[in-house]
RNA sequence: UCCUCCAUAGCUCAGUUGGUUAGAGCAUCUGACUGUUAAUCAGAGGGUCCCUGGUUCAAGUCCAGGUGGGGGAGCCA
């Protein structure tokens, strides 16, 4: 009978460990926690002096310092406490004797949950390049930078929903697979279940899409806007927030083949209120993350400062990250028409010194270099450019009375360029039909869109905001592939 | 798609006018030390110099093509 006693003890300990709930490190960092007996689980960042483990569980940027008993801990166990290993530790929260943290965990029980072979685990406790970590996208979450980026990304996601909900908007889930091919926002990915090695042919030799899953060609959406307009013309104010897909062969630090977009659409709203909505939206979102992500933003701010040390002075930001974001919150956005912007550019120093590579004249779209001069040099803050020439904008934008321009707006921010593009929509059926003809869009492709202009049409407006560009702007990351967990770009769909 | 730069140890990078056995820091391993903060100190191991071809007595180094990546541009969000 006596031989069962130790077994019983082990059984009881194990049961306690199961009952004991895991504490998140984010909640264990203040003095009030001292004395609490807790269980933590996470991944080892460093193991110093055979005694101090920096444990990160992702709940916040900072790690919890675990202090183990060097003498009492088995050498075999200590050997397995390596960077990247998953461990569970029980103990008591104490005031830290060392600097650098308020509290630490005096460990009484330690368990290795998952080993990380130090010869093979690629993430070291040192500076890695973003390019290297991009190839290790499955493990880069374990770094401070990407932990911070993705926590901020989440906060931004939530702030978007909070803003629109507070403003009385309803989210509309627009389709990801679309039968509409008239959105004109870019090249589309085709969706098909046809056997590409043996496609059914029609009598004239062309592919017979009547045999395909939807009985016609289908694509991944490039924008939820047209469908969102339909929602707005009944629910009043709606927004979409979902993935969008562009099959453009763009290889830049600002483009993805799969990205997330926010598209509000408001009935009875003209361009002026659309601009106000865009400004309020951006400011509200920034206010939210500034208030809720300070630790992560501080880290990202310092990361940016370190990264910019390698750049020449004129390519560095003149204010730190959080100050820049705060400035956007505090400053009214500048408004300028396209026509005024052209005038400003033609009077600018780089124009007179012929430093611009592309021509500046009315009717030609603004190039990156022009937008950059306006935003970064002339206005030095967010700018809304309105009333573009009709010829360079989409078919659905409302014609202005001058007959030359449309009620469009682009919100430009320093460092990123266009972050929001929107317009007042053409609500007059005859004008819209004329535009369809002009853009070679067959009316029977967009009959459902035109119907909203046939039945109870009304003035309405909306815009699109690239979510990843917002995340870039807020985190100071300079490559869009580093603000989405698994970027999709031409020739790259790993993971 | 275009322009441009780059590719050497697990990572970040040196490598001279082409010349003997290709180096450093960090990481890893071994040992020492032990209240550390990306700990410190000593030692060790670690290389298909991206691939293919060419020039040459000799190529990490020069040339051509390819592949991969960065930055910029276009398109756009």
DSSP, residue by residue, A352-415: HTT--SS---TTSPPPHHHHHIIIIIII-S-EEEEEEEGGGS-TTBPBPTTSSEEEEEEEEETT
Question: Which of strand B's nucleotides are less than 7 A from any protein C-beta?
Answer: 1-2, 10-13, 26-30, 33-39, 68-77
Nearest C-alpha neighbor of A270 from the set A409, A435, A412: A409
pLDDT in tens, A39-49: 999 999 999 99
What ipTM was reported for this prediction? Answer: 0.91
**Is the pLDDT assigned to residue A402 strictly greater than 60?**
yes
A162, A183 contact by CB (below 8 A): no
What is the per-residue pLDDT for A275?
97
Any idea which nucleotide's C1' is nearest the CA of A185? Answer: B76
A479 half-sphere exposure, CB direction, 13 A CA radius: 16
What is the per-residue pLDDT for A474?
96
**Is the pLDDT assigned to residue A128 strictly greater than 80?**
yes
Bridging pattern class, strands A417-424 and A460-466 = antiparallel
Determine the Cα–Cα distance for residues A481 and A146; give it in Å rounded to an integer. 11
Distance measured from the CA of protein residue A84 to the C1' of nucleotide B46, in angstroms: 22
Angle between helices A429-438 and A447-454 (to 10 degrees): 160
A486, A495 contact by CB (below 8 A): yes
Distance measured from the CA of protein residue A492 to the C1' of nucleotide B55, in angstroms: 37
Any idea which nucleotide's C1' is nearest the CA of A489? Answer: B69
A84, A114 contact by CB (below 8 A): no
Any idea which nucleotide's C1' is nearest the CA of A261? Answer: B77
Nucleotide B29, nearest residue via CA and C1': A119
pLDDT in tens, A62-110: 999 999 999 999 999 999 999 999 999 999 999 999 988 999 999 999 9
pLDDT above 70 coverage of chain A, percent: 95
What is the per-residue pLDDT for A102?
96
pLDDT in tens, A261-313: 999 999 999 999 999 999 999 999 999 999 999 999 999 999 999 888 878 77
Distance measured from the CA of protein residue A315 to the C1' of nucleotide B9, in angstroms: 34
Buried b (16+ CB within 10 A) or exposed e, A111-120: ebeeebeeee
Q: What is the mean pLDDT of chain A?
A: 92
Distance measured from the CA of protein residue A251 to the C1' of nucleotide B4, in angstroms: 14
Q: How confident is the model at residue A9 (pLDDT cuts 50, 70, 90)?
A: low
Average pLDDT score over residue span A466-486: 95
What is the per-residue pLDDT for A448?
94
- Number of Cβ within 10 Å of residue A360's Cβ equals 20
Distance measured from the CA of protein residue A415 to the C1' of nucleotide B71, in angstroms: 15
**Is the pLDDT assigned to residue A4 strictly greater than 60?**
no
- Number of H helices and E strands in chain A, helices first, is 14, 16
Nucleotide B46, nearest residue via CA and C1': A119
Q: How confident is the model at residue A16 (pLDDT cuts 50, 70, 90)?
A: very low
Distance measured from the CA of protein residue A51 to the C1' of nucleotide B25, in angstroms: 26
Average pLDDT score over residue span A6-11: 54
pLDDT in tens, A404-431: 999 999 999 887 788 999 999 999 999 9
**Is the pLDDT assigned to residue A148 strictly greater than 90?**
yes
Name the residue with higher pLDDT: A6 or A109: A109
- Number of Cβ within 10 Å of residue A380's Cβ equals 14
User: Six-digit token pair at A242?
Assistant: 């979902």
**Is the pLDDT assigned to residue A8 strictly greater than 80?**
no
Nearest C-alpha neighbor of A92 from the set A74, A68, A71: A68
Buried b (16+ CB within 10 A) or exposed e, A250-273: eeeebbbbbbbbbbbbbbebebee
């Amino acid at each position: 009978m006596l031989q069962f006693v130790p077994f019983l003890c082990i059984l009881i300990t194990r049961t306690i460990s199961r009952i004991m709930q895991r504490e998140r490190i984010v909640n264990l960092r203040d003095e009030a926690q001292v004395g609490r007996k807790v269980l933590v689980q996470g991944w080892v960042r460093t193991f110093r002096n055979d005694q101090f483990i920096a444990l990160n569980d992702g709940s916040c940027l900072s790690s919890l310092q675990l202090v183990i008993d060097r003498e009492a801990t088995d050498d075999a166990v200590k050997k397995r406490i390596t960077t990247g290993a998953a461990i569970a530790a029980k103990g008591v929260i104490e005031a830290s004797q060392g600097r650098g943290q308020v509290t630490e965990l005096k460990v009484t029980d330690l368990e290795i949950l998952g080993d990380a072979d130090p010869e093979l685990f690629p993430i070291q406790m040192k500076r890695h390049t973003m390019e290297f970590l991009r190839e290790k996208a499955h493990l880069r979450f374990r770094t401070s930078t990407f932990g911070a980026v993705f926590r901020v990304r989440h906060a931004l996601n939530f702030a978007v929903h909070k803003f629109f909900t507070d403003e009385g908007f309803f989210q509309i889930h627009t389709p990801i697979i679309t039968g509409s091919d008239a959105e004109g926002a870019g090249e589309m990915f085709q969706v098909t279940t046809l056997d590409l090695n043996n496609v059914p042919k029609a009598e004239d030799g062309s592919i017979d899409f009547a045999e395909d899953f939807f009985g016609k060609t289908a694509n991944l959406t490039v924008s939820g806007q047209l469908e969102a307009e339909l929602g707005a013309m009944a629910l009043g104010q709606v927004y979409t927030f979902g993935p969008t897909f562009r099959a453009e062969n763009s290889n830049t630090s600002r483009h993805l083949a799969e990205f997330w977009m926010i598209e509000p659409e408001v009935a009875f709203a003209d361009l002026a209120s659309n601009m106000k909505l865009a400004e309020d939206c951006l400011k509200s979102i920034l206010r939210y993350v500034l208030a809720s992500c300070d630790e992560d933003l501080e880290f990202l701010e310092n990361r940016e400062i370190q990264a910019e040390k390698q750049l020449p002075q004129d390519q560095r930001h003149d204010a730190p990250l959080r100050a820049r974001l705060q400035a956007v919150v505090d400053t009214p956005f500048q408004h300028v028409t396209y026509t005024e912007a052209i005038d400003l550019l033609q009077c600018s120093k780089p124009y007179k010194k012929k430093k611009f590579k592309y021509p500046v004249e009315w009717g030609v779209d603004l190039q990156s270099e022009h937008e950059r001069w306006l935003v970064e040099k002339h206005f030095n803050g967010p700018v809304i450019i309105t009333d573009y020439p009709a010829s360079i904008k989409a078919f659905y934008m409302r014609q202005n009375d001058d007959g030359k321009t449309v009620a469009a707006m682009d919100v430009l921010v320093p460092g990123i360029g266009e972050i929001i593009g929107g317009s007042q929509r053409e609500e007059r059926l005859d004008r819209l039909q004329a535009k369809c003809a002009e853009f070679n869009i067959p009316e029977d492709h967009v009959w459902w869109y035109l119907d909203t202009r046939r039945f109870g049409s009304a003035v309405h407006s909306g815009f699109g905001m690239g979510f990843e560009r917002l995340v870039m702007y807020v985190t100071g990351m300079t490559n869009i592939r580093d603000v989405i967990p698994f970027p999709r770009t031409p020739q790259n769909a790993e993971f």
